[in-house]
Amino acid sequence: MTITFRHKLTFIYSFVTLSLLLVFASAVYFSFRNSLVSDIDGLLLAEARIAAAEGIADGSSGEIEKVMIKKTGNEYVQVSNIRGDISITSLRSGTLSWPIKLPLIEKAFNGVYSFDTVSFRGEPYRILHFPVDKSRILRLGYSLQKVDAELRELRKLFFSLLPFILITVVVFGYNIAGRTILPVVRLTETADKIKKGDLKERIQLDYPGLEIRNLVRVFNDMLDSIQRHVEGHKRFTSDVSHEIRSPLTALKGSIEVTLRRRRKPEEYEEVLKKNLFEVNRLHKISDNLLLLARADHDIIELRNSWVDINELLGLIVERHRNKILEKSLSVMEEYQEPLEFLCDRDLLDEALSNLFDNALKYTPDNGTITVKTEQSFNGITVSFHDTGPGIPERDRERVFERFYRVDKTRSRLSGGSGLGLAITKWIIETHGGSISVKNHDDGGAIFTITLPVDDA
Ligand X SMILES: Nc1ncnc2c1ncn2[C@@H]1O[C@H](COP(=O)(O)OP(=O)(O)OP(=O)(O)O)[C@@H](O)[C@H]1O
Residues making contact with ligand X (CB under 6 A): 354, 358-359, 362, 386, 388-389, 391, 399, 404-407, 411, 416-422, 445
> Which partner in ligand X, Mg ion, none is near 343 (CB below 5 to 8 A by kind)?
none
What whole-number distance in Å separates Cα of residue 325 and Cα of residue 334? 20
CB of 416 to Mg ion, least distance (A): 5
Nearer to ligand X (CB atom), residue 173 or residue 388: 388
**Per-residue x/- marks for Mg ion, 380-419, CB under 5 A?**
----------------------------------------
Report DSSP letters for 265-330, one per residue.
HHHHHHHHHHHHHHHHHHHHHHHHHHHHHHHHTT-PPP-EEEEEHHHHHHHHHHHTHHHHHHTT-E
Nearer to Mg ion (CB atom), residue 26 or residue 280: 280
CB of 276 to ligand X, least distance (A): 16
CB of 319 to ligand X, least distance (A): 15
Q: What share of the chain is helix, strand, coil (3-state, %, to 5)?
A: 55, 15, 25
Contact status: 420 vs Mg ion (CB under 5 A):
yes
CB of 423 to ligand X, least distance (A): 8
Nearer to ligand X (CB atom), residue 309 or residue 437: 437
Q: Minimal CA–CA distance to 48: which of 22, 24, 77, 23?
A: 77
Q: Which residue lies nearest Mg ion, judged by its C-beta?
A: 420
> Which partner in ligand X, Mg ion, none is near 406 (CB below 5 to 8 A by kind)?
ligand X
CB 49 within 8 A of CB 62: no
Sign of CA dihedral 26, 27, 30, 33: negative
**Which residues lie below 8 Å from residue 248, measured CB to CB, with a gap of 6+?**
278, 282
CB 289 within 8 A of CB 296: no
Q: Please report, in angstroms and rounded to a whole number, the separation of the first and last CA atoms in the chain.
A: 62
> Which partner in Mg ion, ligand X, none is near 359 (CB below 5 to 8 A by kind)?
ligand X
Q: Which residue lies nearest ligand X, judged by its C-beta?
A: 420
**Per-residue x/- marks for Mg ion, 311-350, CB under 5 A?**
----------------------------------------
Nearer to Mg ion (CB atom), residue 107 or residue 361: 361
CB 385 within 8 A of CB 332: no
CB of 304 to ligand X, least distance (A): 25
Residues of this chain that interact with Mg ion (CB under 5 A) are 358, 420
